[in-house]
Amino acid sequence: MKKIRSQVTIAIDGPAGSGKSTVARRVAEKLGLLYLDSGAMYRAVTVLAIRGELTTDSPELLEQVKACHIQFKDNGKTILLNAEDVSHQIRTPAVNRRVADVAKIPEIRHEIVKHQQRIGGEGSIIAEGRDLTTIVFPNADFKFYLDASVTERAKRRLAEFRRQNVEITLAAVEAEISDRDEKDKTRAHSPLRTADDAIVVDTTDKTINEVVDFIIARVSEDKSTSEK
Ligand code: C5P
């Protein structure tokens, strides 16, 4: 395992299916960093909205968000919502359809961002999502923006659904992620955008390992973070 010196924060943003989660998890394993899947937190909150049949802007939902406990286990593989394992439930098509509407509510984002910054203060971290390079960790040591064509991203998501035995067509997945891209990029609060100081990586024709190696090379070549 490569080691990097002192506390380091790596932030990655990008649209659904750009490879952020898989890449960040592998970099975390290789460099011994904490992995923060920020989208999982918005997904967990969406589970609260669906279960309670609450509208995204309802005061009840905000109260539940303020009171809930979201925890990660196994370096991000398992997510607990009020001690219940919701790791599978947060990945369902129903949550996919709803999550961007929940995530656009500023008061909800405020709560989630506070939580993310607390986690970030605990040590070296690699965090990924939509506003990690711009809002959550604007002073991150390294910033990356991962992107890929919408068709390639839809194919990757379809493969994930197949592995989970979820019946869905490529066209439906493509429509869902295009809709989510549009909502995430055009919302008034913390929209998905490329930070001025982020390194942009088009992953369309790259393997996961190529992107992982690229990020590790950038982090390791920086003398200030390499272990002496
Ligand atoms: O990354 P993932 O696809 O799991 O994120 C699900 C949704 O959560 C995104 O489409 C977006 O609406 C929201 N999100 C966000 N800010 C983040 C991470 C995710 O608004 N930092």
Q: How far apart are the C-alpha atoms of 52 and 32, rounded to whole Å?
A: 38
Q: How far apart are the C-alpha atoms of 45 and 71, rounded to whole Å?
A: 12
Number of domains in the chain: 1
Percentage of the chain beyond pLDDT 90 is: 89
Residue 224 lies in a domain: no
Residue 5 lies in a domain: no
Cα–ligand 1 centroid distance for 226 (angstroms): 31
Q: For 166-205, what is each residue's pLDDT tens digit? A: 899 999 999 999 999 999 999 999 999 999 999 999 999 9
Cα–ligand 1 centroid distance for 224 (angstroms): 31
Residue 103 lies in a domain: yes
- Closest residue by Cα to atom 11, ligand 1, is 100
Q: Quick one: pLDDT at residue 1?
A: 52
Cα radius of gyration rounded to whole Å, the chain? 17
Residue 220 lies in a domain: no
Contacts with 185 (C-beta within 8 Å, 6 or more apart), sequence order: 15, 191, 192, 193
Residue 177 lies in a domain: yes
Residue 16 lies in a domain: yes
Cα–ligand 1 centroid distance for 92 (angstroms): 14
Domain containing residue 168: CATH number: 3.40.50.300
Q: For 32-89, what is each residue's pLDDT tens digit? A: 999 999 999 999 999 999 999 999 999 999 999 999 999 999 989 999 999 999 999 9
Q: What is the pTM of this model?
A: 0.93
Residue 130 lies in a domain: yes
Considering only 2-6, 16-20, 163-167, which range has the smallest mean pLDDT?
2-6
Residue 222 lies in a domain: no
Residue from 20, 98, 99 whose mutation best tests the ligand 1 pocket (most atoms within 8 A of CB) = 99
Cα–ligand 1 centroid distance for 62 (angstroms): 17
Q: How far apart are the C-alpha atoms of 30 and 219, rounded to whole Å?
A: 12
Q: For 99-148, what is each residue's pLDDT tens digit? A: 999 999 999 999 999 999 999 999 999 999 999 999 999 999 999 999 99
Tell me which residue range forms the domain holding 130.
10-212
